[in-house]
Chains A and B, each alone.
Chain A
Amino acid sequence: MKTREKILLALIIISLALLAVILSFGALGAVPLKTIRPLGSFYLYFMANNNIVIQEIYPSITKPSDFWAASTEGITAILWDYRGLDTLFETSVFFFAIIGSVSVFRYYSVSLEEKNKKNTNNSSTNTKTSGQGLSLIVKLITRINFVVIIAVSASIAFHGQLTPGGGFQGGATLAVAPLLAIAALSRYFVEDVGLKKNTMLTIRTLGLLIIGLLALTPLIMGFAGGNPYIMENQPKSWAMFIGFPSFGLGVLLGSLAFYNMAELLAVGAGFTVVFLLLTLPEEFFKKILSREVGKQ
């Protein structure tokens, strides 16, 4: 190890030790606390409470419906209702990350299946799924799991405003289904059932478009008056937007449920695009890449 590296390592160790000392002297207050912090307590009191005034704790608030998010799940309420703009930009970061990844793999314009067909001169034998993937038992179990995973992910996303979960978590679970199918049944099967790159990109854009429209809906309805703001969920006394339905099918909804459904589509399809690109065979890619480099 060189002297420069040794100094660097020593600096890292010293700074971490300093951090430990600062923390143990209570830089963040007593961690963990026994009581709850005032901000957290405020969110917890008002996220699902539109009719009871907690006069002893918050005497100045006479209208709790100004702060309610129509959600029984505290973290979702904070994410979409109290700091929704942050979440909107977070979705934008995810959008640009996928766009960036796809643009790195821009050479990939035809599906693997079509490419193989051209190579075999349209032979009449069914080369698509036969002889690909793992054993029959694994294939069968994967087919069953494929459906179950989709059902579970839908459940996670559609209950997102009531229980832990939500659009992103549901979408991430949904993307496991094609990943499992790629591993067990081969990439041909996945492309065969219609999960192609361009289809997935379209679904993802559709999901993001719905999110954008949902965010802008209060502003569009604001042309009729009421002074609403972007991403408004429930009516406020200072911005009288009619509000997203706070009860539907006997459960709380708000805008949160609709965002979750759109996010499920966007994230699920986005991850599937990434998995499809990552499982491209190296030879296939190298052939295209060498041709592209040769052109320059």
Chain B
Amino acid sequence: MIEEYLEKILWTYMFFVIIATFGVSIYGIVFRPNMLKKIIALTIFGDTANVFMIFIGYRAIYPIKPPVLWTSHPDKNVLNTFVSQSIDPVPPALVITAIVINMAITLLITFLAIQAYRLYGSLDVRDLSKLKG
């Protein structure tokens, strides 16, 4: 009974941490005028979303294992044990795609930010928004 209660508190704490990190990253994206800080906040936002997805795929059981089968010729018992102990493989599969896309986008906007700095000597969006042409 106490264990269940503690477990509930732990997961609620996890939710709180994830949502607080979302908050910090959104604050960074919206309120920081420096482009570099905006990019850093954006990566934090993406990573928090990924952690959240992993969290959805996790299972509150013990022992819990990654979805890696230990034999190439599984019989019925092996399969049943494997499925009963493994995490849900669908959210991590979605996350791995998200990581690559996130990385690709970050790469491109970082290069654009570097180019903007080299051409105009500033990364402040207030300065950059005044530019014409």
Contacts and interface: CB of A to CB of B under 8 A. Distances in A.
Binding between chains A and B: yes
Interface of A: 5, 8-9, 12-13, 16, 19-20, 23-24, 28, 31-37, 39-41, 43-45, 47-49, 51-52, 54, 72-75, 77-79, 83, 86-87, 90-91, 93-94, 96-98, 100-101, 104-105, 162-164, 168, 251-252, 274, 277-278, 282, 285-286, 289, 293
A16 B83 contact: no
Contact of A93 (B12, B82, B104, B115): B104
A274 B103 CA distance: 12
Given A32-B60, A34-B59, A72-B69, A43 B89 contact: yes
A33 B72 contact: no
Contact of B90 (A40, A96, A97, A164): A40
B75 A9 contact: no
A97 B82 contact: no
A109 B101 CA distance: 28
A48 B60 contact: no
Contact of B15 (A12, A24, A48): A24
A23 B118 CA distance: 44
Contact of B108 (A23, A31, A73, A97): A97
Given A90-B97, A97-B107, A252-B72, A44 B16 contact: no
Given A48-B72, A285-B118, A293-B119, 6 more contacts: A28-B56, A40-B57, A72-B68, A72-B71, A97-B105, A286-B118
15 contacts: A12-B27, A13-B23, A31-B11, A33-B59, A34-B60, A36-B59, A36-B88, A41-B83, A44-B83, A73-B68, A74-B89, A87-B97, A97-B104, A97-B108, A105-B115
A237 B120 CA distance: 61
B100 interface: yes
Contacts of B103: 94
A16 B19 contact: yes
A75 B93 contact: yes
Interface in B6-32: 11-12, 15-16, 19, 22-23, 26-27, 30-31
A116 to B, nearest CB: 21
B79 A49 contact: yes
Q: Which of B67, B71, B83 has the most CB of A within 10 A?
A: B67
Nearest to B66: A164
A97 B101 CA distance: 9
Interface string B57-77: 111110000111111111110
Nearest to A172: B103
Contact of A52 (B22, B56, B72, B74): B74
A51 B74 CA distance: 9
Nearest to B69: A72
A136 B90 CA distance: 48
Contacts of B5: none
A36 B83 contact: yes
B122 interface: no
A104 B72 contact: no
Contacts of B89: 40, 43-44, 74-75, 77-78
B92 interface: yes
B76 A52 contact: yes
A5 B33 CA distance: 13
B79 A105 contact: no
B69 A47 contact: yes
Nearest to A289: B118
A34 B61 contact: yes
A40 B19 contact: no
Contacts of A94: 100, 103-104
A252 B73 CA distance: 10
Across the A-B interface, the 3 shortest Cβ-Cβ residue pairs: A74-B67, A97-B104, A74-B89
